[in-house]
Structure 1
Amino acid sequence: MISILIVGKGNVGTQLYEAFKSIETLNVQLISSRDLNAIPKSDVTIIAVSDDAVATVSSQISTDFVVHTSGSVPLSGLKNNTRKGVFYPLQTFSKDKKVDYTQVPFCIEATTESDVKLLETLAGFLSKKIYHISSEQRKAIHVAAVFANNFTNHLYKIAHDICDTHQIPFEILHPLINETADKIKVLPPALAQTGPAIRKDAATIKNHLFLLTEKQQEIYTILTKSIQNDA
């Protein structure tokens, strides 16, 4: 029986707890990061808190093996005086939407081989996509993920706003969004690029800009120039 203590009741901590608690060979507990006065013993303590809280929270924990779930905090960002590691699930988490962990890559790092094996075992209960990733590599993965997920989602928000302005249901774009996501699984993104920017279709670009707000025009122009410069 492997004992796990999860510290942090946010999106990541809550979803990890829900995933682990159904596995019979694991004993998992979930506590708030504000409740660190009496930390129970565990084989691994998983800190699932905001990036800027990792150092403070970890400095108050004295269990044998402490890991964090951050994409941008290095291993050295943990300030406990015991063994350290990283257990980073590369996915976007929202409390109201369950995650299919079988499709989630886990990036792991630890200072000893036995701890690496333990993290491999824990990740293996949830997913087969397990990667040994250094702190420097994880920084690059995290910024790439911001472009692929957070920035892309903001563009979805802008597209949603445009649809709303013109009384168009946003769901009309769902098949296009899905096809684009599927396409880059078989083609490099550079080869999958379509649209007026890559075609240098100045007339269409001008017509598009006429429909947009000033802020939307600025973003459209920056992205158009970026696509054309890469062509």
Structure 2
Amino acid sequence: MISVTILGAGNVASHLYKVFSKTEQVFVKQWYNRSIGSISTHKNEVEIIDDLLKIKEADVYILAVSDDAVKTLSASLPLENKLVVHTSGSVSLYDIDKKHRRGVFYPIQTFSKTAEIDFSNVPICIEALKSNDYQLLKKLAISIGSPTKKINSDQRRVLHLAAVFVNNFTNQLYRIGHEITESEGAEFDVLKPLIMETAKKVQDFSPYMAQTGPAKRNDKKTIRKHLKSLESEHHKDIYKLLTESIQRTHGRKKL
């Protein structure tokens, strides 16, 4: 059994605690957060602490905290030569204090506390300086049913950057679509099958091959109608920017 201590109480920490606590191969030894109130509802399930001096021996210490907190928190841990990993896509492995055995346990997924997560659909990107530590982190990921990928810091950095485009920016476009439908009393829910089909399509085709729409077709009449219909100048700017990007990709002449 792998003993784990979780540090942090955000979305990633909460989901990791939830899946680890259901896994026979993993024992969550402690859960630390500097504000103990945010994890107090779990006090009858796991030992919760808000004092690093109370931290106990474990196989893996997972820093599921904000990017800015990784360096300071790892330096504050009263431990040496223990496997300490962070869950960030953009923080360097070397931001973890050198007194530890350093690693990364990066789940590529969007996490919200209220949303259920199936970890069999959550790839875990693993990085470690020592082979034994890599194998332990791989075993930890496999225990929760996650596929694993061995990557280096540069690969993780670009994956995180790409994730911002395909997840965060895409979700903002959903929000704009929601605002546009609401403006005329149309139902955003009608678009949900389209959203699902678009996501499904890139499982089988490259994004380049999957592209459709007026910009790809260079349908200038429709594009002008869309721009005229948009009341928000901000939305117009986004529409123009993305239209131009598609036209550049597919060799179409701009408006």
TM-score (norm 1): 0.97
Per the alignment, in what secondary structure is the counterpart of residue 5 of structure 2?
Answer: strand
Q: Find the partner of 1:65 among 83, 91, 106.
A: 83
Equivalent residue for 1:146?
164
Equivalent residue for 2:44?
none
Deviation at 1:31, TM superposition (A): 1.5
Moved more, 31-40 or 175-184: 31-40
Per the alignment, in what secondary structure is the counterpart of residue 88 of structure 1?
Answer: strand
CA displacement, residues 168-198 of structure 1 (integer Å, 9 cap, x when unaligned): 1110000100110011111111111110001
In structure 1, distance between residues paired with 2:72 and 2:126 = 21
Deviation at 1:80, TM superposition (A): 4.8
- What is the aligned residue count? 231
8 Å CA contact 1:33–1:57 kept in 2: the answer is no
Q: Over the residues paired in the alignment, what is the CA RMSD in angstroms? A: 1.1
Unaligned runs of 5+ in 2: 36-49, 251-255
In structure 1, distance between residues paired with 2:94 and 2:100 = 12
Change (3 A) 1:136 1:121: same
Q: Find the partner of 1:214 among 229, 233, 249.
A: 233
1:32 aligns with 2:33: yes
CA displacement, residues 79-138 of structure 1 (integer Å, 9 cap, x when unaligned): 251100000000000001011101100000111110000000000012341000101110
8 Å CA contact 1:74–1:136 kept in 2: the answer is no
1:224 aligns with 2:243: yes
CA displacement, residues 59-89 of structure 1 (integer Å, 9 cap, x when unaligned): 1112511000000001011125110000000
Deviation at 1:41, TM superposition (A): 1.3
8 Å CA contact 1:105–1:127 kept in 2: the answer is no
Per the alignment, in what secondary structure is the counterpart of residue 31 of structure 2?
Answer: strand
8 Å CA contact 1:3–1:27 kept in 2: the answer is yes
Q: Find the partner of 1:113 among 104, 127, 131.
A: 131
CA displacement, residues 181-218 of structure 1 (integer Å, 9 cap, x when unaligned): 01111111111111000111111111101121100000
Change (3 A) 1:82 1:132: same
CA displacement, residues 33-64 of structure 1 (integer Å, 9 cap, x when unaligned): 45223222111100000111111111111251
Give the fraction of aligned pairs with identical amino acids, expressed as a percent: 48
Unaligned runs of 5+ in 1: none
8 Å CA contact 1:109–1:132 kept in 2: the answer is yes
